[in-house]
Structure formats: structure tokens, C-alpha cells
Amino acid sequence: MSHEPFDTLAAAWAVGALDGEERAVFERHLADGCDVCEAELRSSAEALAAAARSVPPMIPPSQVKEALLRRITATGSARRETLPPRRLVWAVGSLVAVLAGAGFTATFVATRYEARLGQVAREAAALRASVQRDEAALREQIAVYQGAVDLLRDPATQIVLLRGLGPSPRANGRVIWHPVAGGHLFVANLPAPPPGKAYELWTIGDAAPQPAGVFQVDGSGRGTYRIGPVAGGQPVKVFAVTLEPEGGVPAPTGPMVMASVK
Ligand SMILES: [Zn+2]
């Protein structure tokens, strides 16, 4: 029996485009063992597997598709009498659909995976930033407490009490003050300042009040502030807090909300 009727059937069979009597005949032929058809089926299967394995950019897997189409078309024109044009169209159409489907699936999976990876990376970056902010805040707090403890060991350090005045009678505070090193201010029960405003600390000696820094309080009315040494080492007789524009001012303009107890 001539092999000619089977020359064009392998590619069609590989993409499920054979049916009825032709399929039965071809499968009997395969069952009898045929190196030519087996090689043809193997190369079709490899091409399909390669298309499914490929990573993007995957659509179109043009070199694979063109190679297969060339093979089918070449066989078809040489043996036109054995492969009706309608089946050729159907076989090519099925093959293209399979390849496009594999490419689409690979692209779809890869796109989803990349989107998820991007999301995980963004979450990790946000978490890292948050941990770094917390760590920086903790370090700052530890530095404040360490500085205060160091000052307390020095016999020259004094504790000055502050009392709330006028708009904030319940406020209270303490200054740990060293005449050379400066000190720390701790306040409690001081209401959050209105928008655009902040509290400003003043040191008052024999001359005009000297600005000693602007500070904020947290939601529970507590605040801490590191006070630098007074220029020239002038002795401080009074610590006072006023409500000022949030940038601070060189001389007090707003109401006094706290002052040290004489
Ligand atoms: Zn064969």
C-alpha cells in the first residue's frame, strides 16, 4: 500500500481535525507502526508544547506557527488531490486557535503573576518605610530620655515646674535645666494648638524673653522638647510658653499658656 494517502493526515490528526472513516483509517495506519507519521506527530507535539511553555512576549509565536503552516501548506499543494481545501482551512484554523490559546494563557498567567508580584513589592516597601519611621521615632525618644537622665546625674541640674495659665489651666510641665548644657521640657494636658499655630518656649532672664524653640503636643496633650543652652550662659529666671504662628516668632506676640512657678 502506498504511503501517499497518509502524507497529509498526520498534521490534521495532531490538531484533532480528522474524523469519521479517515480518522479510523489513519489510526489503524499508526497502530501498524509508521516512522514517517510518528516523526510528523512528534514535531507537531513539540511545536505545541514549546508554544505552551513560552513566556511573554508570546503572541504571536510566529516562528513556530509559520514553520507549521509552511509544512502543512507545502504538503497540501504537492498532494492537493489527497487533501480537500476545506479540511486544510479547518486544520490550519484549529492549529492557529490552539497556538493562540496557548499564547493567550501564558500571557494571561504571566500578567496576573507580574501584577501580584508588583503588589507584594509595594506592600513590602510600605512596611519597610513604616518600620523605619517607627525605629527613627524610638531612637529619638531614647535619645531624649538618655539626655534627661544624664542631666539628672549632674548636681548643677535643677527641676523647674511649669503651671497652666489662662486658656489652658490644667496644663502642667517640667523643665530639667542645666545652666551650661541646656535642658528638656516635658508638658502634659496642653491642648493641641489651633491649625497654623504652635507653642513657643521662652527663657527670661534680666533682659527681653529669648526664643527657645517651637514645639507641638500629641493627641493626649503631651510634648517633649530639647532646649538648647542660652547664648552667653545668661541665667534663666523664668520659662514661659506662648501660643504663636507655627513658624515661631522672635518676640512673644500670643497669649501666655504656661509659665514656671516662682
Ligand atoms: Zn505513515
- Express each pLDDT in 31-62 by its tens digit: 998 998 888 888 877 777 776 666 554 455 56
**Dist. CA 33–CA 258, nearest whole Å:** 102
36 and 90 both lie in a single domain: yes
Q: What is the pLDDT of residues 162-211, one digit of tens each?
A: 999 988 899 999 999 999 999 999 999 999 999 999 999 999 998 899 99
Rounded to the nearest angstrom, the distance between the alpha carbon of 34 and the centre of ligand 1 is 5
Rounded to the nearest angstrom, the distance between the alpha carbon of 25 and the centre of ligand 1 is 11
Rounded to the nearest angstrom, the distance between the alpha carbon of 8 and the centre of ligand 1 is 9
133 and 172 both lie in a single domain: no
Rounded to the nearest angstrom, the distance between the alpha carbon of 50 and the centre of ligand 1 is 24
192 and 249 both lie in a single domain: yes
Q: 28: part of which helix (H) or strand (E)?
A: helix 20-32
Range of the domain at 255: 158-260
Over its C-alpha atoms, the chain yields an Rg (Å, rounded) of 43
Rounded to the nearest angstrom, the distance between the alpha carbon of 43 and the centre of ligand 1 is 14
148 and 27 both lie in a single domain: yes
Rounded to the nearest angstrom, the distance between the alpha carbon of 45 and the centre of ligand 1 is 16
113 and 162 both lie in a single domain: no
DSSP sequence for 129-153: HHHHHHHHHHHHHHHHHHHHHHHHT
Q: Residue 74 has what pLDDT? A: 65
Q: Residue 87 has what pLDDT? A: 66
Number of domains the chain contains: 2
141 and 195 both lie in a single domain: no
Q: 78: part of which helix (H) or strand (E)?
A: helix 62-78
